[in-house]
A and B are shown apart, each in its own frame.
Chain A
């Protein structure tokens, strides 16, 4: 049971994450000036759902905070607080705290200190209270009535005095006396039970508002023989004190499925609640089946327009699927592809020409594409945490930064999205700390005081380009170079091109910051970016114009599961070389490959000497006397350290391979990016070019050697 609860809780947190994303987008839009009712209502709904779910799971701190936040949002939504930039800023801060609260509820972070944010929210609310009488109100009567209730609403402890929902739309519900008790009828639908909703919790919540059960209508209860234990037959009648705002009662039913019976009625002032309940029960149709249409009508007037919109939303068109199941599916499809090619290999050429086989291959490919698209997610998920980070960074550094995002709907494999979070964080921090200047410096340089960071994603072929561009001061190459020399990363007399200098900032331990700040300066940042991106089979490009800004580009594969590779043969074994790294292949002439030292060779290529690695040596495989270079092929690959030649025996094929991880059953092996299964069922190892070329020594040694 507790496991089930955990699962439901996990769904709640997923929904929280979605809600937070929606809220953040809405708030960002508001900050950008779009204060349409739709946007505000969207934020309100998101926060409201988080509150509701948090309440159901007993996350008191989260509930309390989201409630206070919601109050302000509600006032904004109702037009009683103008969404001025100042108010939006308070709400953005509140949103950040809300995210922290969610993390705390999840147990991944300590409980945030929300006092300041709460105070700011309250200030916004009280500011509104002072303005209210003068402001034109859509329903003054309702307003007055609400204020009449205000002092007593505070009976419910954690609800602050402004916790009511606007009830301007339900004028007809208002009784002059305003104190008559509510009669609430609640009949959970069958669906509610099937969804795991516990009616008792709703009843308890009503009791928390001071409600009492006055009757249970069991007319619909069939004989024991016909009883379906999973169906719901009872309709409860509760009496709730008239001092409770209707919206608070309606709130209790937020998470009750829409076809449940929910009726909230005021009883005539004199009539005791129990008596009033009697006729209602008598009117009740004997079966639940005929009731459902009543329910939405009964709920709708009680809730605001935005809420009723939510109730009429069509049933969700999505289902949640565990990622592992998708992975399994992807794996199986990969198998199918492999089996397909095994089959094709076995058939005679005549049979291979028949239409069925290409047809099968096409279908398999389509299945594969579809499965891949299932794992694809908009890159927005990775971008979504950037706005908050920028707010924090701006607060820390005093720099003003605007964020522009482009192409956030670009779809990328889920695995890639998960892994670019870290590099992205470092790139953004780097851009703010090193790129963007302080407002004063910017003005002095003739720029607007606000810096701009442009975050963009686009797909080109099978690669994704993620760019972080700032309009800051650009890379100070003289300083980078001086630092690199000082740290011994390059030789003092090395002649380095601008691009090479730019690449230096990705060197391990490199930092130009004079002081180590919270933000950067430890010299790990860009090194992490580079190694993470390379681990994904991508690379980082840097371009910088002094005084105008720097652009970091992460070039990533669309998927981590399939690789376009070149199958090479080496000492009798087949290996796959990622095609992305291959520049060209050379059949050396006698004398073109020369030994530079007993253990290393160089190849002369169009006047340049490039290092050559014999893979058999790198891997330490015993060979029966090394082949002469003329009998081998040198494949020139692009690496961080520039082009390097890899000596292999022959090239066999070019094909897409499904990557199987080695560390699932073994452990990562340096120089290998994984393994794949070829058409004949045998295994080929996938080479990790960077690791092979870099070797155990520092990656920059080859560069030093070359440049010096």
Chain B
């Protein structure tokens, strides 16, 4: 966390869900864990996979793909859990693969076209230079959807339900 913020620039962690690229703010990331089966919870929506032990804290694990309306992720060898901090609460997100950490400029972020029907989990779209598999900078731009973590907060979700 020693990165010095330049005004107008921010670091995002990019990851894939299916063929889509998503990004979350680096500042919210607590850690990336390998997938291990969480303890299932009764009586919760299917996207809550269960709870896991993060150094003594009980942290819920959410299938992010299902949560935002895509087909559920299949767990494979590169599946991992992004543990993030949403307003002081910790939450783990199951993602297919963590791809990169990139620096983006604020002016490069485009507001997401208003096509969402139920809730707006995507705050903006940004083009990044995708890294080619061999590690060299690729030429093709990839679209990354930036996620609004607050919308994904579990505690907030339940407030709505209550």
Q: Is the CB of A660 within 8 A of B39?
A: no
Interface residues of B in 36-90 (CB under 8 A from A): 38-44, 48, 51-53, 55-60, 89-90
Chain A residues near B89 (CB-CB < 8 A): 664-665
A684 to B51, CA, bound (A): 9
Task: Tell me how far the C-beta of B89 lies from the nearest C-beta in chain A, rounded to whole angstroms.
Answer: 5
Contact of B60 among A331, A335, A620, A665 (CB under 8 A): A665
- Option from B41, B44, B53 in Cβ contact (under 8 Å) with A677: B53
Residues of B within 8 A of A660 (CB): 56-58
**Is B158's beta carbon under 8 Å from chain A?**
yes
Whether B57 pairs with A669 at a CB distance below 8 angstroms is: no
Q: Which B residues are in CB contact (< 8 Å) with A666? A: 41, 48, 51, 58, 60, 154-155, 158
A618: chain B residues at CB < 8 Å are 42
Most A Cβ at <10 Å: residue of B43, B51, B58:
B58
B51 touches A662 (CB 8 A): yes
Which residues 332-377 in A have Cβ within 8 Å of B in the complex? Answer: 334-335, 338
Alpha-carbon gap, A573 to B48, bound state (A): 17
Is A684's CB under 8 angstroms from B39's CB? yes
Cβ of B91 < 8 Å from any Cβ of A?
A: yes
A685 touches B39 (CB 8 A): yes
A274 CB, min distance to chain B CBs, angstroms = 61
Contact with B along A649-683 (1 / 0, CB 8 A): 00000000000111111110111100101000111
Interface bin, chain A: 20 to 34
Closest to B40 in A: A573
Chain A residue contacts of B57, Cβ below 8 A: 660, 664-665
Q: Are B39 and A683 closer than 8 Å at their CB atoms? A: yes
Closest to B161 in A: A667
- Contact (Cβ within 8 A) B56 A335: yes
CA distance A168 to B59 in the complex (A): 68
Cα-based distance from A74 to B39 in the complex (angstroms)? 65
A703 → B minimal CB distance (Å): 24
State A662–B53 Cα separation when bound (angstroms): 12
Is B42 a contact partner of A619 (Cβ separation < 8 A)? yes
How far is B38's CA from A677's CA once the two chains are assembled, in angstroms?
A: 12
CB distance from A501 to the nearest CB of B (A): 34
A616 to B: closest C-beta gap in Å: 9
- What separation, in Å, do the CA atoms of A394 and B52 have in the docked complex? 53
Contact B40 A675 (CB under 8 A): no
Interface string of A88-120 (1 = CB under 8 A from B): 000000000000000000000000000000000
List of A residues within 8 angstroms of B60 by Cβ: 665-666
A238-270 contact mask (Cβ, 8 Å, vs B): 1 or 0: 000000000000000000000000000000000
Which residues from A are CB-within-8-Å of B154?
Answer: 665-667
Whether A665 touches B43, Cβ cut-off 8 Å, given contacts A660-B57, A675-B58, A681-B53, is no
Cβ distance B51 to chain A, nearest Cβ, rounded Å: 6
How far in angstroms is the closest Cβ of chain B from A669? 6
Interface string of A307-351 (1 = CB under 8 A from B): 000000000000000000000000100110010000000000000
- List the A side residues contacting B41 at CB < 8 Å: 662, 666, 669, 672, 685
Chain A residues whose CB sits within 8 angstroms of the CB of B59 once the complex forms: 665
Q: A450 to nearest B CB, angstroms?
A: 47
Q: How far is the CB of B55 from chain A (nearest CB, A)?
A: 8
Distance to closest chain A CB from B21 (angstroms): 27
| Chain A positions 624 through 643: 1 when the CB is less than 8 Å from some CB of chain B, otherwise 0 | 00000000000000000000
Some 24 contacts from A to B, beta carbons below 8 A apart, are A573-B39, A618-B42, A660-B57, A661-B58, A662-B58, A663-B155, A665-B60, A665-B90, A665-B154, A666-B158, A667-B155, A667-B158, A669-B42, A669-B43, A671-B42, A671-B43, A675-B39, A675-B58, A677-B56, A681-B53, A682-B53, A683-B51, A685-B39, A685-B41
Having A665-B154, A672-B42, one finds 8 other A-B pairs with CB under 8 Å, namely A331-B56, A573-B39, A660-B56, A665-B57, A665-B89, A671-B43, A677-B58, A685-B39
Please provide the 9 A-B residue pairs with the shortest distance between their CB atoms, ordered closest to farther.
A619-B42, A667-B158, A683-B39, A335-B56, A660-B58, A675-B58, A666-B60, A665-B89, A665-B90
